[in-house]
Amino acid sequence: MKEKGKKTAGAAAIIVFLGICAALYVYIYVVPQVTGALTPTAIARYGEMLTSNPADCIVFRSEKVIPAEQSGQAGYYAGEGDKTRLGEKIADVYPAGGAAKSYYMETTGVVSYWYDGFEDVFRPDALDVFTPDVFDDPSAAYGEEETEQADWPEPRSVNTAEKEKDDPLYKIVLGDMWYMALRIDSAYMDRYAMGAKISVDPGFGAVDARVIRMTQYEDCWVVIAQTNRYYSSSCRLRRCSATIVTEDNTGLIIPTSARCFRMSEEGEMQEGVYVKNIRDEYHFCRIRVLAEDTEKDLSLVAEDTFFERNGDGETVTVYTLSVYDEILRDGSELSDVRITDEVPEEEEEEIVFEWEKPAPEEGEE
């Protein structure tokens, strides 16, 4: 009986211990997540927000394909994407009988072994006659109505040992400047401007570029961007999907629901948030919205100050949110909070250095 009682007591202790652990887990991990959503205030925190949109991309480059002048075994001396100078040896082709044929760089450029057959089609000068039909049908680039619709071919590597005469041996990318034609939905075009800097990510990393042309069509826009940035992976690109970043802003992250409008004394609608002070009162603080994430219901706003023009056309400084300010999470729910028009000013503590303190009177310690 005593052994049975000990086992029962031990099992009960284990159950109690597990229950305490479960309660601690709920208290530490679950409760904060639930109450966080119900908390009436939020903290303005420093952050970054990108403004981006999807696009279809076609790459235009100045390229020259070097064919094999004879059949045989090829040997290469340059790597994919290598920047190579005039006169450097690139390849040898050894025929079954006879002397090997050596190939040297005809000019300074980038060596690539990726070939898609469009090297003579998508040249920079072809941008002058480019139409968005090409995104779906590359044969439209030839401008021949009788041409059958074609699919975009996958680029293939010609860095192979066996070569037949006239097979592509390698290609040279000429010049530093290359171009991207971007098909963009009309809904995003308010973000673009001539000469603006953008970042294009075609899948291997961001490419900094500049907008040099914008053309509107019936169901889309085509933006032409140019860049002189060197990326060894770009030699493989022709037709791809890309993400375009038009703005990269830093500031303070706040819930979008905190934003609200209030009529100023001059009769103008001003956007802002309600900031909590040490007396648990809320005062209206103007904001400038830099970007918005509609999926996460977050907004990025300017930090500390921003500038605007007043009615007289003068530039004035507007003081705004600072990092770690506590704001009302829902700017439309003011019924349960105290509102004040007074913006509290923090008293600055006077700093007195030791050598500035008056000397003690004689007899004083």
* Domain positions in the chain: 251-339
Tell how far CA 301 is from the center of its chain. Answer: 18
pLDDT of residue 348: 45
Cα separations in angstroms, 324 against 34, 139, 293, 298, 327: 21, 57, 20, 16, 9
pLDDT of residue 35: 39
pLDDT of residue 31: 46
pLDDT of residue 174: 93
pLDDT of residue 68: 95
Q: With CA atoms as reference, report the closest residue to 101 among 153, 165, 40.
A: 165
Under CATH, to which class is 251-339 assigned? mainly beta
pLDDT of residue 343: 57
Instruction: Report, as ranges of residue numbers, the positions in the chain whose pLDDT lies below 70.
Output: 1-13, 23, 25-39, 143-149, 335-337, 341-365
